[in-house]
Amino acid sequence: MAEASQTTDVSFTCQRCSMPLKLDESFRTVDARLCTEIAAPVVLLKPSSQDEPLVLPEPSTDDDTVCRKLTAPLRVVESENYTVVVGDNVHKEPGKFSQHFEMTARLFDVLTDQSEVEHPLCEECTDTLIDHMEKELSTAESEVKDYKRYLSERSDNDEESIEDLRADLAKLQAEEKELIETLHKVESERAAVFHKRDLLLQDKKRLEEDEKKHFKEYMDLKRQWICASDEKISVENQLAYAQAQLDLLAKTNVFNATFHIWHDGHFGTINGFRLGKLPDIPVDWKEINIAWGQTVLLMNSLAKRLSFSFGKHRLVPFGDRSYIEVVSEKGTEKLPLYHTGGLRFIYDVKFDLGMVAFLECLSQFKQEVEQRNKNFSLPYSMLDGKIRDNNSEKAFSIKYQLNTEEEWTKALKFMLTNLKWAVAYCSASSRDAPS
């Protein structure tokens, strides 16, 4: 492989791409006189009638303003396949190198100050810069054409008359005055509108406060109305319940509810107590006495209901020791409606007289009711201490002595039946009576 070697002094790099530069041989002839001529002020003539020179300021020569990219002298070694740039500090004398370097650097400083582009540049960067400057030149030329056209148009417009301009000015001033008046009017209207708006806002605030107040009053009244409605419904329900109870009580037979007269086989009963005795069913005298006490109390209540008195007889309900008082000229005789028991052959005439007197009181009650209501009648007729069965025309004595227990018990049963009919009449008359 053949090799060729060449040594070149390279002291500068491109100020754009920083590549090392190989300076042209002409740079070796640069001296101080040439640099002075290049750095001299440039005289230009103004584009006017006066040919006064225009002197550009001298470029700055301060070394502090230049920060140049430098390299040491290099040696370029070329061969068929490659080129090598190597440093070489031994082939040049120090004094000659410094003088040449100073002149070249000064030349580049002058070029930099005059062109506003830092020098030196490589060929590629120079070509790029030239292309860029050509584009700027083309743009500047286009702007110059636009300015010339604009100046031409302005020159044509200058030929308009002053009168037209004054007329236009007067017209514009009139329009301005009119617009100012309109503006004042609009501002006045605007102030009035804002004042009205403030009044409306105050009214709105007052109405909102009134609304809150009225809404609160409305809610209070609604709450009271709801409470009153609930109370009204409650009172109506209570009234309906009371009316229902009243109707029920009006339909209720008080005497039947208080004195329940029924039968238990051959016995007549009042409130469950049997009245009578049978040989095969020996009812205790205490139960019979209680039944007689309930019967006397019922008869006395019916008489009070009709405001009726029994003449010389007065019923005295006293439980199982009830009796009847008979008033006569001789005095008051007490006839018991209870029996203490004992042997039957012992004659107890007062007990029999008491039962006969009670049957007489029931007959008097029947006669009183018949006077008030002609249609009233009892199922069994009563006379002289006996009760007659209208179907069999057989009479049964209410006396216990000298009588069979069967007939005595049947007579008592018929008596309770008549008493039940009397209760039904009193209940019906109380329902028909006006309130």
φ/ψ region of 292 (left if φ > 0, alpha if ψ in -120 to 50, else beta) reads: alpha
State pLDDT tens for residues 39-74.
Answer: 666 544 444 444 444 444 444 444 444 444 544 444
Instruction: Give the architecture (CATH level 2) of 254-432.
Output: Orthogonal Bundle (1.10)
Each residue's pLDDT tens digit, 176-214? 999 999 999 999 999 999 999 999 999 999 999 999 999
Structure tokens at 129: 């810069």
Which residues 6+ apart lie within 8 Å of 289 measured at CB?
320, 321, 337, 338, 339
What per-residue confidence (pLDDT) applies to 40? 63
For residue 435, the model assigns a pLDDT of 43
H or E element, residue 356: helix 349-372
CB within 8 Å of 407: residues ≥ 6 apart? 396, 397
pLDDT of residue 345: 43
pLDDT of residue 409: 93
Long-range contacts of residues 149-156, Cβ cutoff 8 Å, at least 24 apart? none
- CA separation for the pair 42, 53 (Å, rounded): 9
pLDDT value of position 417: 93
The amino acid occupying position 2 is A
* Exposure b/e, 412-426, CB count within 10 A at least 16 = b: bbbbbbbbbbbbebb
Q: Can you give the pLDDT at residue 112?
A: 80
> What phi and psi, each to the nearest 5 degrees, are found at residue 356?
-65, -40
320 in Cβ contact with 290 (< 8 Å): yes
**Domains in the chain: boundaries:** 3-146, 254-432
Cα dihedral value 69, 74, 80, 81, nearest 10 = -50
Ranges of residues in the chain with a pLDDT under 50 are 1-8, 10, 43-68, 70-94, 345, 434-435
Q: Tens digits of per-residue pLDDT, 333-352?
A: 899 999 887 655 456 688 99
The predicted pLDDT at position 59 comes to 45
The pTM (predicted TM-score) of the whole model is 0.47
State the DSSP code for 31: -
pLDDT at position 32 = 65
Spatial neighbors of 254 by CB under 8 A, at least 6 apart, are: 427, 430
